[in-house]
Amino acid sequence: MKLRLGLVFKILGVLLLLLLIAGFVAPVFTADQYGRRLQVSLERSLGRRVEIGNVHFNLFKGPGFSVDNVTIYEDPAIGMEPVVYIQEPGSMEVAPSIWSLLGGKFVIASIRLAGASINLTKSGPAPEWGRWNFSSIVNPSVIRTAPAIHVRDSRIHFKFGDTKSVFYLTETDLDVSPSGSGGDWKIACSAKPARADRAAQGLGSFTLKGRWYAEPGRVDLDMEVDRAALGELTALLSGQDAGVHGLLSSRLHLAGPLHNMGITGRLNIGDVHRWDMMPGNSQGWRQEIRGRLDLINQQIELHSTTAGNATLPLALHFRATDYLSQPHWAVSVNWNRFPVAPIMELARHMGAQFPPKLQLSGTMDGAIGYSGRGSLQGALAFHDTALGIPDSPAVRFEQAHIILEHGHARLSPALVRGGENDEARIEADYTLDAQTLDLAISTDAMKVQSLRAQVALAAVPCLEQITAGQWSGELRYHRAPAEAGWSGRLVLTDATIAIPGLADPVQLNSAHAQIDGARVVLDRIDGQAGKLAFTGDYRYEPGVARPHRLRLRAESWDAADLEAELMPTLRRSTNLIARALGRPMVTDWLRQRNLDGTVQIDDLLAGGAHLENFRARVLWDVARVQLEGIQAGLDRGVLTGKLDVNLRGSRPNYRLTSKVKGMSWQSGKVDADGTLETFGTGMQLLTNATAEGNFSGAAIDLGTLPPRLRLTGLNLRTEDETFTGRGATQDDGRLVILLSNGAKEMRMSGTLAKLKVE
C-alpha cells in the first residue's frame, strides 16, 4: 500500500513538473495556425471586425492564447475609430471553453484586456438620439452567450460620433462576467475619472460592484467614493481647480432600469479649506442622499433628505446633464434657520482673516445655486445676527438680506446697531468675477469710536486719527484687485484729533469732511488746541511737494501760548548719539511735515506788543519753517518781514528780517529795518538775541527812556578813527556807553538828549 501511494505521488510530481515546463515553454511557441480560428471566434462574439498580431499559447492564465497586438474595429454606422486598441506592453488573453473544446468546438469563455484603449461610442452628436456601440452586446439574446470580459489598467474614452468627450477613465479595472443562465452579469469596476485638457492623472477614484439583469434591463449596484479631494472633483467638472480643498466620501446604492436608476446613500464632506491653508478640525457635513440617474440621456440628480422628509437646516441639491459630452451642472444649498457660527468657521478655513476672538451668532434662511458656468444665484436672510468684536461693542443686525444674481452679491440696506444706541445703515455690492467690493455706511449720529472699532473700518482717512467724537453723513468704500479706497461726506462734532508735535490734542467743535481716496478736505473748522482757538480749513493733497494745505484764522493769540503748544516740536527727544553730535533725530512725523498754509490773527500778543491783523504764509518743509509775507499793524505803524525757523539743531534757531514804518515811539514816529537772530525757547530768546539795522525818527522825545536798554555792536566813526563798543541804561536812568579803538577808550554817559564824553 505504501509502495502504491509513493508511486502515485511520483506520478503526480512528474505531471506537475511537465505542466510547469509546458507553462513556461508554451508562450515561446507561436500558435499562428490557431490565429485565424481565434480571429473568427472574436468577430463572432463581439460582432466587430478584428485584427490580431502574434498568437501564443498560455497555460497559466488559461489554458488559452495570448495576443500581442489587437485592434477591434468599430461599426461604420457608429464611428471610424476602433473600439479597442492594444499595443505592447499591453496584451489580450483569450481563454476558450474547456467543455466546448472537448466537444470539438472553439468557443471563447473569457477575454482579458491589459493596457488597452477602449472607446465607448454613440452614433451622432451628443444632444441627439443615437446608438451605443455596446448595445449589441447587451442584447438579451446575445448576452447569454457572450464571454466574460476582464479589463486591467486600461483607459476608457467616451465618444459621440467623431467627437471625443473631455472625460475619460484611467487606471480602469473592470470585470463583467455571466451569472447563471438567465443572461445576468456580475459587474465590478474601479477607476479614476480624468479630463483630456488636464495632466494625465486621475481626479479622485471610485469603485462599483453589483449585477446587471439583462432580461428586465435593470441594474443593482453599490458605488463607493473614498476620501476624494474636492479640488480634484471641481477640476473634473469645470476643468480647473477652484482652490477649495477638502475630502469627500460617499456610499451610494443604484437600482432600476438604465434610463431611471434610483440612488440612495450617504455623503460626507469634511476638512474644507483654501488651497494654501491648513485643514480645520471640523467633523464634516454628513448628508443622506437620494436621487435619480438616467444613464441613456446623461442626467443625474442628487438631493439631501431625511428618513421622514423633515425640513433640514441645511439641504444640498445637485444636477448634471450631458456629463459625457457637454457637461452642464449645478449645485444649490438651502438653509432653514441655520446657525451662522459654522459659516465663520468655514470662512476661516477658506483664508478669511478675522480677529482671534471674533464671534458670529444668529440664524439664516435662504438658498444659493451655483452652476458650472460660474453663475451664482440666490438669496439669504439673516435674523438676530450679532458680530462680537474683541474689546469693542458688538454689531447687531435684526434683519439683513443678501441677494446673489448676475455675478453680484448685494447686501440690501440693513440697520446696524452698535454700542450705546449707535445706529447706521449699511449696504454692499460684491462683484464675483472682478472681485470688487462697494460698501456704503450712513448714519445720522454715530460715535467715531464705534466706527473705528469695527473690522477693516479703522483705516478710513481722517477718521483713523480721531480718537473721540461723533460723525454723521455717508461713507463709501470701493475695493478692486488693483486699488482700494474710501470716499464720502461727513459732519464731525466734538471730535478729538491727536496731531504729533502738539502739546494738546486738537478739539474740533465742528467740521465738514470730504474724503476721496487719500485726499481729505476739512472745511468750516471750529476748533481749539490748548488755549489757541481758531477757525479755518485743511486739505491733504497726495502727490504734491507740500500735500498738507492749511488756512487758520484766530481772534486773539498769545505768542507764549503758541510756543507752549509747539513745545514737542521745538524740544524733541534725542538719543545719545544725537546728543553727542548736537543733532536731534528727525522723527518720522516731522519727515512728513510738508505744509503750505496761511495764518491770520486779529490780535497777536508778542513780547508785550500787540500785532494787529497779523497775516503770513507758512511754508513748512520737514525741519525748516518759513513765515513769508508777514504783515501786521504795530503801534499805528506797519510791520512787514520774513521769519525763518530751523528745527534741525538741538534748539530752534530764529532769524527775523523786518521793516517798520510809521511806528509811534517816544511821542514821535520811527521807521526802522533790521535783522534779529536768536535761539532757544522762553526767556532764552531775549538773552540770546542779536540784532542789527537802521532806524530814523521824527519828533522823538529822548528824555524818557525805557527802564532797561542794552546796546551792542555800536560803531562810532571820526575823521581818522573807528570806535566800537556797547552800552546800557543804569538804575538811575542814565545811559552809559563804552567805546574803544584798540588803543584808547571813550566813555559817554547821560541821556540820549544830552550825552557827555568822559
pLDDT score at 261: 92
Question: Do the Cβ atoms of 346 and 447 come closer than 8 Å?
Answer: no
Higher pLDDT, 723 or 82: 82
Higher per-residue confidence, 592 vs 456: 592
Indicate whether this model's pTM tops 0.75.
no
Question: What SS3 string covers 125-178?
Answer: CCCCCCCECCCCCCCHHHHCCCCEEEEEEEEEEEEECCEEEEEEEEEEEEEEEE
Q: What integer pLDDT is reported at residue 505 of this predicted model? A: 93
User: Among 95, 31, 34, which residue's Cα sits nearest to residue 59?
Assistant: 95
Reported as a pLDDT band with limits 50, 70 and 90, residue 201 is low
Q: How far apart are CA 68 and CA 55, in angstroms?
A: 7
Of 187-196, 478-487, 574-583, minimum mean pLDDT range: 574-583
Higher-confidence position of 240 and 544: 544
> Would the pLDDT of 656 be above 90?
yes
CA–CA dist 513, 525 (Å, integer): 9
- Residue 584 is predicted with a pLDDT of 57
> Mean of the pLDDT values across residues 493-518?
92
Q: Bridge partners of 441?
A: 426, 475
Confidence of residue 311 (pLDDT cuts 50, 70, 90): low
- Binned at pLDDT 50, 70 and 90, residue 662 comes out as confident
The mean pLDDT of the chain is 78
Beta carbons within 8 Å of 660's beta carbon, 6+ residues apart: 634, 637, 638, 639, 670, 671, 672, 673
What pLDDT is stored for residue 23 in this prediction?
43
Give the chain's end-to-end CA distance (angstroms, integer).
168
Total count of residues recorded for the chain = 758
What pLDDT score does 181 carry?
A: 60
Q: Which of the pair, 214 or 258, is modelled with greater confidence?
A: 258
**Does the pLDDT at position 209 exceed 70?**
yes
Nearest to 277 by CA among 354, 356, 351: 351
Name which of 377-391, 423-437, 627-641 the model is least confident about.
377-391
Matching residue, cell 532769524: 655
Q: Is residue 350 pLDDT above 60, yes or no?
A: no
Can you give the pLDDT at residue 26?
Answer: 40
pLDDT of residue 575: 53
Statement: residue 525 has pLDDT above 90: yes
Report the percent of the chain where pLDDT is more than 70: 73
Least confident of 58-62, 66-70, 223-227, 350-354: 350-354
Mean pLDDT of 351-379: 72
pLDDT score of 139: 61
Structure confidence at residue 325 as a pLDDT band (50, 70, 90): low
Supply the pLDDT for residue 254. Answer: 92
Backbone angles phi, psi at 577, to 5 degrees: -65, -40
- pLDDT of the residue at 333: 82
A 10 A CB-CB count for 555 gives 10
> pLDDT tens across 396-412, in order?
877 888 888 887 888 88
**Residue 376 or residue 243, greater confidence:** 376
* Pairing, β 519-529 against β 532-540: antiparallel
What per-residue confidence (pLDDT) applies to 29? 42
Say which residue, 724 or 228, is predicted with more confidence.
Answer: 724
Check residue 292 and give its pLDDT.
Answer: 94
Please state whether beta strands 594-606 and 548-558 pair in parallel, antiparallel, or not at all (unpaired).
parallel
Instruction: Between 83 and 752, name the one with better pLDDT.
Output: 83
For the cut 90, the answer to whether the pLDDT of residue 469 exceeds it is no
What integer pLDDT is reported at residue 74 of this predicted model?
86
- The predicted model gives 327-337 an average pLDDT of 80
**pLDDT bucket at 57, cuts 50 / 70 / 90:** confident
Gyration radius of the chain's alpha carbons:
48
Percent of the chain exceeding pLDDT 90 equals 21
Map residue 228 onto helix, strand or coil: strand
Residues in a beta bridge with 289:
265, 304
Of residues 560 and 467, the one with the higher pLDDT is 560
pLDDT band at 620 (very low <50, low <70, confident <90, very high): very high
Query: What distance lies between CA 649 and its chain's CA centroid?
Result: 46
Q: If you average pLDDT over residues 697-711, what whole number do you get?
A: 60
Q: In terms of pLDDT, which residue wins out, 576 or 76?
A: 76
Contacts with 67 (C-beta within 8 Å, 6 or more apart), sequence order: 38, 52, 53, 54, 55, 56, 86, 91, 92, 93, 94
What gap in Å lies between CA 277 and CA 318, rounded to an integer?
Answer: 27
Q: Write down the domain spans for the chain.
A: 28-199, 587-701, 710-757
Residue, of 161 and 224, whose pLDDT is higher: 224
pLDDT band at 14 (very low <50, low <70, confident <90, very high): very low
Backbone φ and ψ of 692, nearest 5°: -145, 150
Does the structure show a pLDDT above 80 at 7?
no
**Reported confidence tier of residue 24, pLDDT bands at 50, 70, 90:** very low
| Residue 334, pLDDT score | 84
Would strands 84-86 and 506-516 be described as parallel, antiparallel, or unpaired? unpaired
Q: Cell triple for residue 608?
A: 508785550
Which DSSP letter does residue 577 get? H
The type of residue at 298 is Q
The C-alpha atoms of residue 602 and residue 611 are separated, in whole angstroms, by 8
For residue 528, name the pLDDT band (cuts at 50, 70, 90). Answer: very high
Min mean pLDDT across 8-17, 39-48, 208-217, 540-549 is at 8-17
